[in-house]
Amino acid sequence: MSRINRRFAVTKVTRGEGANAGKILTDTRADIVTVEEPLEIRAGGTTLTTTMRTPGHDIELAHGWLYAEGLISTVDDVTTARYCAGSQNPEGTNTYNLLDIDLATSAKPVTPDFIRLTPTTSACGVCGTQSISELLHKVPAAISPIALDPELVMSLPERLAAEQQQFRKTGGIHAAGAFDLDGNPIVVREDIGRHNAADKVIGHLLLDGRLPATDMILVMSSRASFELVQKAAMAGFPALVAVSAASSLAVELAREAGMALAGFTRADRFNLYAGELI
């Protein structure tokens, strides 16, 4: 059985057309649904957070989350990452939903500030954080600004969509992608949580020795929220391009951090909330 999607019997309901005009039509069939399961991330046995995610690339997700939270700054700050034997369902089989990280002495100590006491949902990346001001202080002071090519920006959603294999199956999963300044995909990850997808991309780049991402653009299939701009800024991305809207705090943070921020991006238009055009 696939770990990232499952089949359910669903009833499709449609309004009839032509000879069936005015009728409500139903059709029961199998449909593919994206898996959502919890991942508990621990450091040395201490639970840091539990996030609702789509299984897969969990090591990248954990590295990206730790990096965005400011606990680690290099891949060498993590010595081991392993699934715990206690991560089991009632049937006693390992579901790979508990990941324990061993941090090197070079990493920041795990203090109460880093512990999320409430679960992180698939919709929110800052749930449980004590205050927004604490996150603002984690963002590096200097990001090298870039001027955006409008044609490139408008092409990025389609380029991201071309890599979204799971979305084509389920229609219910977000994507994040790191693209070079010519629009070539470097890494694309999918997850039911937009912030998890971003963490997976950032974690991949960290493990590959490609952070800070000063010569890349982070592209999101979702809206541009504060936590996504914060994660992008922490990773050194000079620009974030989103398919949907930007929040007010996302715009303020992007402008303060010197990032370019585009939203409502389509093949023929976008809104530029921060940054400059070529």
Strands of 147-275 (E only): list them.
Answer: 147-148, 174-180, 185-191, 216-220, 239-242, 260-266, 269-274
Nearest to 159 by CA among 185, 186, 182: 185
95 marked among binding-site residues: no
114 marked among binding-site residues: no
15 marked among binding-site residues: no
Antiparallel, parallel or unpaired: β 78-83 and 216-220: unpaired
Nearest to 274 by CA among 236, 224, 234: 224
265 marked among binding-site residues: yes
DSSP structure string for 60-100: HHHHHHHHHHTS-SSGGGEEEEEE-TT-B-TTS-B---EEE
Q: Are 16 and 30 in contact (CB under 8 A)?
A: no
266 marked among binding-site residues: yes
Is 84 annotated in the active site?
no
Cβ contacts of residue 18 below 8 Å, gap of 6+? Answer: none
Q: Sheet with 46-53: list strands edge to edge.
A: 46-53, 37-43, 98-103, 78-83
Catalytic residue among 62, 71, 124, 241: 124
Instruction: Give the distance from CA 24 to its chain's centroid.
Output: 38
Cβ contacts of residue 34 below 8 Å, gap of 6+? Answer: 4, 5, 54, 166, 170, 172, 173, 192
Catalytic residues: 124
Task: List residues forming the annotated binding site.
Answer: 264-269
